Amino acid sequence: MRVAIIGTGYVGLTTGVCLAFIGHDVYCLDSDKSKIEALRNGRVPIFEPFLAELLEEARSNLTFTTCYEEAIPGAEVVFIAVGTPPTPSGAPNLEFLSQAARSIGQHMNSHLTVVVNKSTVPIGSGNWVDSLLRDAIDSRQNGGEHTGFAVASNPEFLREGSALHDSLYPDRIVIGADEPRALEVLYTLYRPILDQTFSAPTYLPRPETVGAVPLLSTDLASAELIKYAANAFLALKISFINEIGLVAERVGADISEVGRGIGLDSRIGPRFLSAGIGWGGSCFGKDTAALIATAGEYGLHLPIVEAARKINSRQRDRVVEKLLHELKILKGRTIGLLGLAFKPNTDDLREAPAIEIAQKLIDRGVRVKAHDPVAIDRFEREHKGMGVLLCGSACEVAEGCDALVLITEWSEYRDLEWEEIAKKMRCPIILDGRHALDAEKLSRAGLRMLSIS
Ligand code: UDX
Protein backbone atom coordinates (compact mmCIF):
# COMPACT_ATOMS: atom_id res chain seq x y z
CA MET A 1 0.00 0.00 0.00
CA ARG A 2 1.09 3.58 -0.52
CA VAL A 3 1.62 5.28 2.85
CA ALA A 4 2.71 8.77 3.94
CA ILE A 5 4.00 9.59 7.42
CA ILE A 6 4.11 13.19 8.60
CA GLY A 7 6.86 13.69 11.18
CA THR A 8 10.07 11.69 11.51
CA GLY A 9 10.48 11.68 15.30
CA TYR A 10 10.65 8.44 17.28
CA VAL A 11 7.13 7.39 16.43
CA GLY A 12 6.99 8.56 12.79
CA LEU A 13 10.35 7.22 11.77
CA THR A 14 9.94 3.88 13.50
CA THR A 15 6.47 3.43 12.03
CA GLY A 16 7.67 4.40 8.54
CA VAL A 17 10.67 2.10 8.59
CA CYS A 18 8.65 -0.86 9.95
CA LEU A 19 5.86 -0.41 7.40
CA ALA A 20 8.43 -0.16 4.60
CA PHE A 21 10.14 -3.27 5.97
CA ILE A 22 6.92 -5.31 5.77
CA GLY A 23 6.50 -4.27 2.13
CA HIS A 24 4.59 -0.99 1.92
CA ASP A 25 5.65 1.97 -0.21
CA VAL A 26 6.32 4.64 2.42
CA TYR A 27 6.91 8.38 2.09
CA CYS A 28 8.33 9.95 5.26
CA LEU A 29 7.86 13.71 5.43
CA ASP A 30 9.41 16.22 7.79
CA SER A 31 9.71 20.01 7.57
CA ASP A 32 13.29 19.78 8.93
CA LYS A 33 15.43 19.75 5.76
CA SER A 34 18.62 18.65 7.51
CA LYS A 35 16.86 15.67 9.08
CA ILE A 36 15.48 14.59 5.70
CA GLU A 37 18.89 15.03 4.07
CA ALA A 38 20.48 12.87 6.78
CA LEU A 39 17.83 10.16 6.35
CA ARG A 40 18.30 10.16 2.58
CA ASN A 41 21.96 9.42 3.26
CA GLY A 42 21.03 6.56 5.59
CA ARG A 43 21.88 8.51 8.76
CA VAL A 44 19.35 8.14 11.58
CA PRO A 45 19.03 11.35 13.63
CA ILE A 46 18.04 9.57 16.89
CA PHE A 47 19.70 6.83 18.92
CA GLU A 48 17.48 3.78 18.62
CA PRO A 49 18.92 0.26 18.49
CA PHE A 50 18.75 -1.35 15.00
CA LEU A 51 16.84 1.53 13.39
CA ALA A 52 19.71 2.29 10.99
CA GLU A 53 19.97 -1.40 10.05
CA LEU A 54 16.24 -1.78 9.41
CA LEU A 55 16.18 1.47 7.43
CA GLU A 56 18.97 0.08 5.24
CA GLU A 57 17.03 -3.16 4.64
CA ALA A 58 13.81 -1.29 3.81
CA ARG A 59 15.50 1.44 1.77
CA SER A 60 13.97 0.53 -1.59
CA ASN A 61 10.47 1.10 -0.14
CA LEU A 62 11.29 4.42 1.54
CA THR A 63 11.23 7.98 0.22
CA PHE A 64 12.23 10.90 2.45
CA THR A 65 10.81 14.28 1.53
CA THR A 66 9.93 17.74 2.81
CA CYS A 67 7.14 18.19 0.21
CA TYR A 68 3.48 17.47 0.84
CA GLU A 69 3.00 17.57 -2.97
CA GLU A 70 5.29 14.55 -3.22
CA ALA A 71 4.09 12.56 -0.21
CA ILE A 72 0.31 12.96 -0.14
CA PRO A 73 -1.23 12.53 -3.61
CA GLY A 74 -1.92 8.84 -4.15
CA ALA A 75 -1.40 7.88 -0.49
CA GLU A 76 -4.00 5.41 0.78
CA VAL A 77 -3.01 5.96 4.39
CA VAL A 78 -1.50 9.12 5.90
CA PHE A 79 -0.16 8.96 9.46
CA ILE A 80 0.17 12.15 11.45
CA ALA A 81 3.08 11.61 13.83
CA VAL A 82 4.10 15.15 14.65
CA GLY A 83 5.12 16.45 18.08
CA THR A 84 2.45 17.54 20.56
CA PRO A 85 4.66 19.16 23.22
CA PRO A 86 3.09 20.16 26.53
CA THR A 87 2.00 23.75 27.20
CA PRO A 88 2.25 25.27 30.71
CA SER A 89 -1.38 24.27 31.43
CA GLY A 90 -0.62 20.61 30.75
CA ALA A 91 -2.70 20.57 27.56
CA PRO A 92 -0.66 19.62 24.50
CA ASN A 93 0.29 22.18 21.86
CA LEU A 94 -1.59 21.16 18.72
CA GLU A 95 -0.04 23.64 16.33
CA PHE A 96 2.00 21.05 14.41
CA LEU A 97 -1.00 18.74 14.24
CA SER A 98 -3.25 21.41 12.75
CA GLN A 99 -0.58 22.47 10.23
CA ALA A 100 -0.16 18.86 9.16
CA ALA A 101 -3.94 18.30 8.82
CA ARG A 102 -4.35 21.43 6.68
CA SER A 103 -1.45 20.51 4.40
CA ILE A 104 -2.75 16.96 4.00
CA GLY A 105 -6.21 18.33 3.10
CA GLN A 106 -4.68 20.57 0.47
CA HIS A 107 -2.94 17.71 -1.32
CA MET A 108 -4.85 14.46 -0.92
CA ASN A 109 -6.56 13.26 -4.06
CA SER A 110 -7.76 9.67 -3.64
CA HIS A 111 -11.35 8.50 -3.35
CA LEU A 112 -10.48 7.31 0.10
CA THR A 113 -7.46 8.46 2.06
CA VAL A 114 -7.39 7.24 5.63
CA VAL A 115 -5.81 9.93 7.80
CA VAL A 116 -4.53 8.45 11.04
CA ASN A 117 -3.60 10.22 14.25
CA LYS A 118 -0.54 8.43 15.55
CA SER A 119 0.60 11.32 17.74
CA THR A 120 -0.82 11.24 21.26
CA VAL A 121 -3.62 13.74 20.91
CA PRO A 122 -6.38 14.92 23.23
CA ILE A 123 -9.65 13.08 23.12
CA GLY A 124 -11.76 14.61 20.38
CA SER A 125 -8.82 15.39 18.11
CA GLY A 126 -10.05 12.90 15.52
CA ASN A 127 -13.17 15.01 14.98
CA TRP A 128 -11.10 18.17 14.94
CA VAL A 129 -8.68 16.79 12.31
CA ASP A 130 -11.74 15.74 10.29
CA SER A 131 -13.01 19.34 10.26
CA LEU A 132 -9.56 20.75 9.36
CA LEU A 133 -9.27 18.33 6.44
CA ARG A 134 -12.76 19.19 5.22
CA ASP A 135 -12.04 22.94 5.40
CA ALA A 136 -8.76 22.47 3.51
CA ILE A 137 -10.48 20.46 0.78
CA ASP A 138 -13.31 22.97 0.47
CA SER A 139 -10.85 25.83 0.09
CA ARG A 140 -9.07 24.19 -2.83
CA GLN A 141 -9.38 25.87 -6.23
CA ASN A 142 -10.52 22.62 -7.86
CA GLY A 143 -12.91 22.04 -4.96
CA GLY A 144 -11.43 18.54 -4.41
CA GLU A 145 -14.75 17.08 -5.52
CA HIS A 146 -13.44 13.53 -6.03
CA THR A 147 -11.52 13.50 -2.78
CA GLY A 148 -12.75 11.30 0.03
CA PHE A 149 -11.23 10.59 3.41
CA ALA A 150 -11.82 9.02 6.78
CA VAL A 151 -10.07 9.82 10.04
CA ALA A 152 -8.78 7.14 12.40
CA SER A 153 -6.81 6.93 15.60
CA ASN A 154 -4.04 4.36 15.92
CA PRO A 155 -2.26 5.01 19.21
CA GLU A 156 1.38 4.07 19.51
CA PHE A 157 2.65 2.05 22.46
CA LEU A 158 6.31 1.74 21.52
CA ARG A 159 9.01 2.32 24.12
CA GLU A 160 12.13 4.19 23.20
CA GLY A 161 15.12 1.88 23.23
CA SER A 162 12.97 -1.05 22.07
CA ALA A 163 10.87 0.83 19.54
CA LEU A 164 11.37 -1.64 16.66
CA HIS A 165 10.69 -4.68 18.77
CA ASP A 166 7.50 -3.06 20.10
CA SER A 167 6.38 -2.12 16.56
CA LEU A 168 7.06 -5.47 14.91
CA TYR A 169 5.90 -7.63 17.84
CA PRO A 170 3.29 -5.48 19.61
CA ASP A 171 1.09 -6.71 22.48
CA ARG A 172 -1.87 -5.36 20.53
CA ILE A 173 -2.84 -2.94 17.77
CA VAL A 174 -5.62 -0.49 18.55
CA ILE A 175 -7.53 1.18 15.74
CA GLY A 176 -10.29 3.66 16.35
CA ALA A 177 -12.55 4.96 13.60
CA ASP A 178 -16.17 5.81 13.22
CA GLU A 179 -16.16 4.61 9.59
CA PRO A 180 -15.85 0.87 8.88
CA ARG A 181 -13.97 1.62 5.61
CA ALA A 182 -11.09 3.13 7.58
CA LEU A 183 -10.87 0.06 9.80
CA GLU A 184 -10.70 -2.21 6.74
CA VAL A 185 -7.85 -0.22 5.19
CA LEU A 186 -5.85 -0.28 8.42
CA TYR A 187 -6.51 -3.98 8.89
CA THR A 188 -5.00 -4.62 5.44
CA LEU A 189 -2.04 -2.35 6.22
CA TYR A 190 -1.18 -4.14 9.45
CA ARG A 191 -2.01 -7.67 8.31
CA PRO A 192 1.63 -8.86 8.06
CA ILE A 193 2.17 -7.77 11.67
CA LEU A 194 -1.18 -9.05 12.92
CA ASP A 195 -0.56 -12.46 11.35
CA GLN A 196 3.22 -12.28 11.89
CA THR A 197 3.83 -13.37 8.29
CA PHE A 198 6.89 -11.18 7.59
CA SER A 199 10.36 -12.69 7.88
CA ALA A 200 11.94 -11.36 11.02
CA PRO A 201 15.22 -9.43 10.74
CA THR A 202 18.17 -11.50 12.05
CA TYR A 203 18.97 -8.84 14.67
CA LEU A 204 15.35 -8.65 15.87
CA PRO A 205 14.23 -12.28 16.01
CA ARG A 206 10.59 -13.00 16.62
CA PRO A 207 10.12 -13.97 20.29
CA GLU A 208 8.85 -17.52 20.66
CA THR A 209 5.90 -16.29 22.68
CA VAL A 210 4.58 -14.05 19.87
CA GLY A 211 1.61 -15.49 17.99
CA ALA A 212 -1.11 -13.63 16.17
CA VAL A 213 -1.30 -10.05 17.45
CA PRO A 214 -4.69 -9.00 18.87
CA LEU A 215 -6.42 -6.21 16.97
CA LEU A 216 -8.83 -4.02 18.88
CA SER A 217 -11.09 -1.87 16.74
CA THR A 218 -13.05 0.81 18.52
CA ASP A 219 -14.67 4.17 17.96
CA LEU A 220 -12.39 7.21 17.73
CA ALA A 221 -12.79 8.51 21.28
CA SER A 222 -12.15 5.09 22.87
CA ALA A 223 -8.89 4.62 20.94
CA GLU A 224 -7.77 8.09 21.97
CA LEU A 225 -8.58 7.40 25.62
CA ILE A 226 -6.88 3.98 25.55
CA LYS A 227 -3.53 5.67 24.87
CA TYR A 228 -3.85 8.07 27.80
CA ALA A 229 -5.21 5.43 30.14
CA ALA A 230 -2.39 2.99 29.27
CA ASN A 231 0.34 5.54 29.94
CA ALA A 232 -1.35 6.81 33.10
CA PHE A 233 -1.69 3.25 34.40
CA LEU A 234 1.97 2.43 33.75
CA ALA A 235 3.00 5.69 35.39
CA LEU A 236 0.90 5.01 38.46
CA LYS A 237 2.22 1.45 38.70
CA ILE A 238 5.71 2.93 39.05
CA SER A 239 4.51 5.53 41.55
CA PHE A 240 2.71 2.84 43.52
CA ILE A 241 5.88 0.81 44.00
CA ASN A 242 7.73 4.00 44.89
CA GLU A 243 5.13 4.80 47.53
CA ILE A 244 5.39 1.28 48.94
CA GLY A 245 9.16 1.87 48.87
CA LEU A 246 8.76 4.55 51.50
CA VAL A 247 7.13 2.05 53.84
CA ALA A 248 9.69 -0.61 52.93
CA GLU A 249 12.50 1.70 53.93
CA ARG A 250 10.95 2.39 57.35
CA VAL A 251 10.15 -1.21 58.18
CA GLY A 252 13.41 -2.61 56.80
CA ALA A 253 11.87 -4.47 53.85
CA ASP A 254 13.58 -4.92 50.48
CA ILE A 255 11.47 -3.13 47.86
CA SER A 256 12.91 -5.20 44.98
CA GLU A 257 11.72 -8.36 46.71
CA VAL A 258 8.34 -6.77 47.45
CA GLY A 259 8.02 -5.81 43.75
CA ARG A 260 8.87 -9.36 42.69
CA GLY A 261 6.48 -10.79 45.23
CA ILE A 262 3.49 -8.79 44.10
CA GLY A 263 4.40 -8.95 40.39
CA LEU A 264 4.22 -12.75 40.38
CA ASP A 265 0.50 -12.40 40.89
CA SER A 266 -0.73 -12.67 37.31
CA ARG A 267 -3.43 -10.10 38.04
CA ILE A 268 -0.70 -7.56 38.80
CA GLY A 269 2.17 -8.61 36.51
CA PRO A 270 5.89 -8.07 37.06
CA ARG A 271 6.61 -5.12 34.78
CA PHE A 272 6.76 -1.44 35.71
CA LEU A 273 7.31 -2.28 39.34
CA SER A 274 10.96 -1.24 39.56
CA ALA A 275 11.31 1.30 42.33
CA GLY A 276 13.76 4.17 42.22
CA ILE A 277 13.97 7.77 41.15
CA GLY A 278 10.82 7.45 39.06
CA TRP A 279 9.78 7.92 35.50
CA GLY A 280 11.03 10.41 32.95
CA GLY A 281 10.71 10.65 29.19
CA SER A 282 8.45 12.39 26.75
CA CYS A 283 5.25 10.48 27.48
CA PHE A 284 4.35 9.75 31.09
CA GLY A 285 4.70 13.33 32.34
CA LYS A 286 3.03 14.86 29.29
CA ASP A 287 0.23 12.33 29.00
CA THR A 288 -0.73 12.31 32.68
CA ALA A 289 -0.82 16.14 32.59
CA ALA A 290 -2.94 16.07 29.42
CA LEU A 291 -5.35 13.51 30.90
CA ILE A 292 -5.80 15.70 33.98
CA ALA A 293 -6.32 18.74 31.73
CA THR A 294 -8.93 16.92 29.60
CA ALA A 295 -10.77 15.70 32.69
CA GLY A 296 -10.68 19.29 34.00
CA GLU A 297 -12.51 20.48 30.89
CA TYR A 298 -15.37 18.23 31.98
CA GLY A 299 -15.21 19.39 35.59
CA LEU A 300 -13.55 16.15 36.74
CA HIS A 301 -10.63 15.59 39.12
CA LEU A 302 -8.35 12.60 38.76
CA PRO A 303 -6.86 12.21 42.25
CA ILE A 304 -5.10 8.93 41.49
CA VAL A 305 -3.28 10.31 38.44
CA GLU A 306 -2.48 13.52 40.30
CA ALA A 307 -1.00 11.51 43.19
CA ALA A 308 1.12 9.47 40.77
CA ARG A 309 2.65 12.70 39.47
CA LYS A 310 3.32 14.06 42.97
CA ILE A 311 4.99 10.85 44.08
CA ASN A 312 7.17 10.85 40.97
CA SER A 313 8.34 14.36 41.63
CA ARG A 314 9.01 13.55 45.30
CA GLN A 315 11.39 10.74 44.28
CA ARG A 316 13.76 13.34 42.79
CA ASP A 317 13.68 15.28 46.08
CA ARG A 318 14.47 12.12 47.97
CA VAL A 319 17.78 11.81 46.11
CA VAL A 320 18.81 15.23 47.41
CA GLU A 321 17.48 14.47 50.91
CA LYS A 322 19.45 11.18 51.05
CA LEU A 323 22.65 12.89 49.99
CA LEU A 324 22.06 15.68 52.49
CA HIS A 325 21.46 13.21 55.28
CA GLU A 326 24.62 11.31 54.42
CA LEU A 327 26.98 14.19 53.67
CA LYS A 328 25.42 16.72 56.13
CA ILE A 329 26.59 19.67 54.03
CA LEU A 330 26.04 19.79 50.28
CA LYS A 331 27.50 23.20 49.52
CA GLY A 332 30.94 22.83 48.01
CA ARG A 333 30.60 19.05 47.50
CA THR A 334 31.22 17.26 44.20
CA ILE A 335 28.60 14.73 43.15
CA GLY A 336 28.84 12.49 40.10
CA LEU A 337 25.86 11.28 38.09
CA LEU A 338 26.06 7.98 36.23
CA GLY A 339 23.61 8.31 33.35
CA LEU A 340 21.84 11.28 31.82
CA ALA A 341 19.31 9.70 29.40
CA PHE A 342 15.83 9.17 30.89
CA LYS A 343 16.37 5.42 30.54
CA PRO A 344 18.94 3.05 29.01
CA ASN A 345 19.30 2.51 25.25
CA THR A 346 18.24 5.99 24.25
CA ASP A 347 19.88 9.41 24.12
CA ASP A 348 16.56 11.12 24.86
CA LEU A 349 16.79 13.71 27.63
CA ARG A 350 13.19 14.86 27.72
CA GLU A 351 12.07 15.00 31.36
CA ALA A 352 15.20 13.04 32.25
CA PRO A 353 15.48 12.70 36.05
CA ALA A 354 19.21 13.47 35.71
CA ILE A 355 18.47 17.03 34.64
CA GLU A 356 16.07 17.74 37.47
CA ILE A 357 18.39 16.18 40.05
CA ALA A 358 21.47 17.96 38.67
CA GLN A 359 19.63 21.29 38.86
CA LYS A 360 18.49 20.68 42.44
CA LEU A 361 22.08 19.87 43.45
CA ILE A 362 23.52 22.86 41.60
CA ASP A 363 20.97 25.09 43.34
CA ARG A 364 22.39 23.87 46.65
CA GLY A 365 25.93 24.78 45.68
CA VAL A 366 27.06 21.32 44.52
CA ARG A 367 29.55 20.81 41.69
CA VAL A 368 27.95 18.18 39.43
CA LYS A 369 29.86 15.85 37.13
CA ALA A 370 28.21 13.34 34.80
CA HIS A 371 28.71 10.57 32.27
CA ASP A 372 26.39 8.79 29.86
CA PRO A 373 27.32 6.19 27.23
CA VAL A 374 25.33 7.91 24.45
CA ALA A 375 23.61 11.09 25.63
CA ILE A 376 26.66 13.31 26.31
CA ASP A 377 26.58 15.07 22.92
CA ARG A 378 22.88 15.74 23.15
CA PHE A 379 23.27 17.02 26.71
CA GLU A 380 26.01 19.35 25.54
CA ARG A 381 23.77 20.70 22.78
CA GLU A 382 20.56 21.02 24.80
CA HIS A 383 21.74 21.83 28.34
CA LYS A 384 25.08 23.52 27.87
CA GLY A 385 24.29 26.39 30.23
CA MET A 386 23.58 24.21 33.27
CA GLY A 387 27.20 23.98 34.31
CA VAL A 388 27.42 20.18 34.58
CA LEU A 389 30.95 18.90 34.01
CA LEU A 390 30.72 16.13 31.41
CA CYS A 391 33.19 13.26 31.62
CA GLY A 392 34.32 10.58 29.16
CA SER A 393 33.95 7.64 31.57
CA ALA A 394 32.44 6.63 34.89
CA CYS A 395 35.94 6.50 36.36
CA GLU A 396 36.56 10.09 35.35
CA VAL A 397 33.28 11.10 37.02
CA ALA A 398 34.34 9.40 40.26
CA GLU A 399 37.58 11.40 40.52
CA GLY A 400 37.29 13.62 43.62
CA CYS A 401 33.55 12.93 44.16
CA ASP A 402 31.86 13.00 47.56
CA ALA A 403 29.18 10.67 46.21
CA LEU A 404 28.03 9.04 43.00
CA VAL A 405 24.37 8.62 42.00
CA LEU A 406 23.31 5.93 39.55
CA ILE A 407 20.56 7.65 37.58
CA THR A 408 20.23 5.50 34.43
CA GLU A 409 20.73 1.74 34.69
CA TRP A 410 22.85 1.30 31.56
CA SER A 411 24.10 -2.30 31.55
CA GLU A 412 27.74 -1.15 31.42
CA TYR A 413 27.32 0.50 34.84
CA ARG A 414 26.56 -2.82 36.47
CA ASP A 415 30.12 -4.06 35.97
CA LEU A 416 32.38 -1.10 36.54
CA GLU A 417 35.85 -1.36 38.07
CA TRP A 418 34.44 -0.52 41.49
CA GLU A 419 37.76 -0.81 43.39
CA GLU A 420 39.31 1.72 41.07
CA ILE A 421 36.25 3.96 41.37
CA ALA A 422 36.28 3.79 45.17
CA LYS A 423 39.96 4.80 45.24
CA LYS A 424 39.30 7.85 43.08
CA MET A 425 36.48 9.19 45.25
CA ARG A 426 36.83 11.56 48.17
CA CYS A 427 34.04 9.69 50.01
CA PRO A 428 33.26 6.25 48.57
CA ILE A 429 29.48 6.57 48.64
CA ILE A 430 27.11 5.53 45.87
CA LEU A 431 23.37 6.08 45.78
CA ASP A 432 21.74 3.47 43.55
CA GLY A 433 18.72 5.28 42.13
CA ARG A 434 17.53 2.25 40.15
CA HIS A 435 18.09 -0.82 42.33
CA ALA A 436 20.43 -2.00 39.63
CA LEU A 437 23.73 -2.54 41.45
CA ASP A 438 25.08 -5.51 43.37
CA ALA A 439 25.38 -4.31 46.98
CA GLU A 440 27.81 -7.10 47.97
CA LYS A 441 30.14 -6.41 45.09
CA LEU A 442 30.17 -2.71 45.92
CA SER A 443 30.77 -3.34 49.57
CA ARG A 444 33.73 -5.63 48.73
CA ALA A 445 35.13 -2.78 46.65
CA GLY A 446 34.91 -0.49 49.67
CA LEU A 447 31.86 1.52 48.60
CA ARG A 448 29.01 2.38 50.90
CA MET A 449 25.79 1.84 48.92
CA LEU A 450 22.57 3.72 49.59
CA SER A 451 19.34 3.22 47.73
CA ILE A 452 16.11 4.99 46.99
CA SER A 453 13.43 2.60 48.03
C1 UDX B 1 6.37 4.93 27.44
C2 UDX B 1 5.37 3.78 27.31
O3 UDX B 1 5.93 2.61 27.91
C4 UDX B 1 5.02 3.54 25.84
O5 UDX B 1 4.04 2.53 25.75
C6 UDX B 1 4.48 4.85 25.26
O7 UDX B 1 4.14 4.69 23.92
C8 UDX B 1 5.51 5.96 25.43
O9 UDX B 1 5.84 6.10 26.82
P10 UDX B 1 8.97 5.25 27.13
O11 UDX B 1 8.75 6.61 27.72
O12 UDX B 1 9.79 5.12 25.90
O13 UDX B 1 7.58 4.54 26.81
O14 UDX B 1 9.72 4.37 28.24
P15 UDX B 1 9.30 3.32 29.38
O16 UDX B 1 10.10 2.08 29.18
O17 UDX B 1 7.87 3.18 29.51
O18 UDX B 1 9.90 4.06 30.67
C19 UDX B 1 9.42 5.33 31.10
C20 UDX B 1 10.13 5.75 32.36
O21 UDX B 1 9.71 4.97 33.48
C22 UDX B 1 11.64 5.65 32.33
O23 UDX B 1 12.22 6.80 32.91
C24 UDX B 1 11.94 4.43 33.16
O25 UDX B 1 13.22 4.49 33.75
C26 UDX B 1 10.84 4.51 34.20
N27 UDX B 1 10.49 3.22 34.81
C28 UDX B 1 10.01 2.20 34.02
C29 UDX B 1 10.62 3.04 36.19
O30 UDX B 1 11.02 3.95 36.92
N31 UDX B 1 10.25 1.83 36.73
C32 UDX B 1 9.78 0.80 35.98
O33 UDX B 1 9.47 -0.25 36.55
C34 UDX B 1 9.65 0.99 34.59
CATH number, residue 103: 3.40.50.720
Q: How far is the CA of 335 from the centre of ligand 1 (A)?
A: 26
Report whether residue 273 contacts ligand 1, using a CB cutoff of 6 Å.
yes
Same domain, 281 and 389: no
In a domain? residue 426: yes
Residue 159 has pLDDT above 90, yes or no: yes
Q: What is the pLDDT of residue 435?
A: 95
Q: How far is the CA of 2 from the centre of ligand 1 (A)?
A: 32
In a domain? residue 98: yes
Determine which helix (DSSP H) or strand (DSSP E) holds 238, and give its type and residue range.
helix 220-251
Q: What is the pLDDT of residue 280?
A: 97
Report whether residue 231 contacts ligand 1, using a CB cutoff of 6 Å.
yes
Domain count for the chain: 3
Spatial separation of the C-alpha atoms in residues 285 and 288, rounded to whole Å = 6
Quick one: pLDDT band at residue 121, thresholds 50, 70, 90? confident
Q: Residue 13's CB: how many other CB atoms inside 10 A? A: 25
Spatial separation of the C-alpha atoms in residues 229 and 305, rounded to whole Å = 10
Residue 214 has pLDDT above 80, yes or no: yes
* 161-200: b (≥16 Cβ within 10 Å) or e: bbbbbbbbbbeebbbbbbeeebbebbeebbebbbeeeeee
Quick one: pLDDT band at residue 453, thresholds 50, 70, 90? confident
- Residue 48 Cα distances to 35, 164, 374, 392, angstroms: 15, 8, 11, 21
Report which ligand 1 atom has the smallest distance to the Cα of 346: 12
Same domain, 72 and 194: yes
Spatial separation of the C-alpha atoms in residues 178 and 150, rounded to whole Å = 8
Give the residue numbers spanning the domain of 390. Answer: 315-451
Do residues 434 and 408 touch, judged by C-beta distance below 8 A? yes
Residue 25 has pLDDT above 70, yes or no: yes
Residue 104 has pLDDT above 80, yes or no: yes
What is the best residue among 258, 342, 355 to mutate for testing ligand 1's pocket, by most ligand atoms within 8 Å of CB?
Answer: 342
Same domain, 359 and 406: yes
> What is the CATH classification number for the domain harbouring 269?
1.10.1040.10
What residues does 218 pair with on adjacent strands? 176
Same domain, 338 and 266: no
Report whether residue 428 contacts ligand 1, using a CB cutoff of 6 Å.
no
Based on the residue annotation, tell me whether 283 is a catalytic residue of this protein: yes
Report the largest interatomic distance among the alpha carbons of the chain, rounded to a whole angstrom. Answer: 77
Q: What is the pLDDT of residue 327?
A: 97
Does the pTM of the predicted model rise above 0.85? yes
Q: Give the residue whose CA is nearest to atom 5 of ligand 1.
A: 157
Same domain, 274 and 323: no
Do residues 343 and 310 touch, judged by C-beta distance below 8 A? no
Quick one: pLDDT band at residue 92, thresholds 50, 70, 90? confident
Same domain, 236 and 209: no
Residue 49 has pLDDT above 80, yes or no: yes
- Average pLDDT over the chain reads 95
Report whether residue 190 contacts ligand 1, using a CB cutoff of 6 Å.
no
- Scanning 47-94, the segments in alpha helix (DSSP H) are 51-58, 68-71
User: Residues 63-78: what's their mean pLDDT?
Assistant: 97
Same domain, 233 and 211: no
For residue 173, the Cα-to-chain-centroid distance in whole angstroms is: 18
In a domain? residue 221: no
Q: At which of 309, 333, 359 does a domain end? A: 309
In a domain? residue 222: no
Q: How far is the CA of 324 from the centre of ligand 1 (A)?
A: 28
Half-sphere exposure of 353 (CA within 13 A, CB side): 28
What is the best residue among 117, 119, 159 to mutate for testing ligand 1's pocket, by most ligand atoms within 8 Å of CB?
Answer: 159
Q: At which of 277, 293, 309 does a domain end? A: 309
Same domain, 376 and 436: yes
Q: How far is the CA of 272 from the centre of ligand 1 (A)?
A: 8
Same domain, 172 and 200: yes
Residue 36 has pLDDT above 90, yes or no: yes
Q: Give the residue whose CA is nearest to atom 1 of ligand 1.
A: 159
User: Residues 134-151: what's their mean pLDDT?
Assistant: 84
What is the best residue among 46, 284, 349, 411 to mutate for testing ligand 1's pocket, by most ligand atoms within 8 Å of CB?
Answer: 284
In three-state secondary structure terms, 245 is helix
In a domain? residue 408: yes
Looking at residue 412, what DSSP letter applies?
A: G
Quick one: pLDDT band at residue 120, thresholds 50, 70, 90? confident
Q: What is the pLDDT of residue 143?
A: 64
Same domain, 212 and 241: no
Same domain, 289 and 166: no
Q: Give the residue whose CA is nearest to atom 32 of ligand 1.
A: 272
Q: At which of 216, 243, 271 does a domain end? A: 216
Residue 403, phi then psi, degrees to nearest 5: -165, 155
360 closest CA partner among 302, 426, 407: 407
In three-state secondary structure terms, 256 is helix
What is the best residue among 309, 343, 407, 434 to mutate for testing ligand 1's pocket, by most ligand atoms within 8 Å of CB?
Answer: 343
Q: At what angle do helices 303-327 and 284-297 cross, to 10 degrees?
A: 140
Report whether residue 157 contacts ligand 1, using a CB cutoff of 6 Å.
yes
Report whether residue 272 contacts ligand 1, using a CB cutoff of 6 Å.
yes
User: Edge-to-edge strand order for the sheet containing 25-29?
Assistant: 62-65, 25-29, 2-6, 77-80, 113-117, 149-153, 173-177, 215-218
Annotated catalytic residue within 18, 28, 67, 283: 283
Q: What is the pLDDT of residue 117?
A: 96
Report whether residue 278 contacts ligand 1, using a CB cutoff of 6 Å.
yes
Spatial separation of the C-alpha atoms in residues 191 and 213, rounded to whole Å = 9
Determine which helix (DSSP H) or strand (DSSP E) holds 396, and give its type and residue range.
helix 394-398
Q: How far is the CA of 422 from the centre of ligand 1 (A)?
A: 31
Residue 145 has pLDDT above 80, yes or no: no
Report whether residue 276 contacts ligand 1, using a CB cutoff of 6 Å.
yes
Same domain, 250 and 396: no
Roughly how many angstroms between the first and final C-alpha of the chain, as a whole number? Answer: 50
Q: Quick one: 119 exposed, middle or buried, by C-beta within 10 A (0-12, 13-18, 19+)?
A: buried
In a domain? residue 249: yes
Quick one: pLDDT band at residue 362, thresholds 50, 70, 90? very high
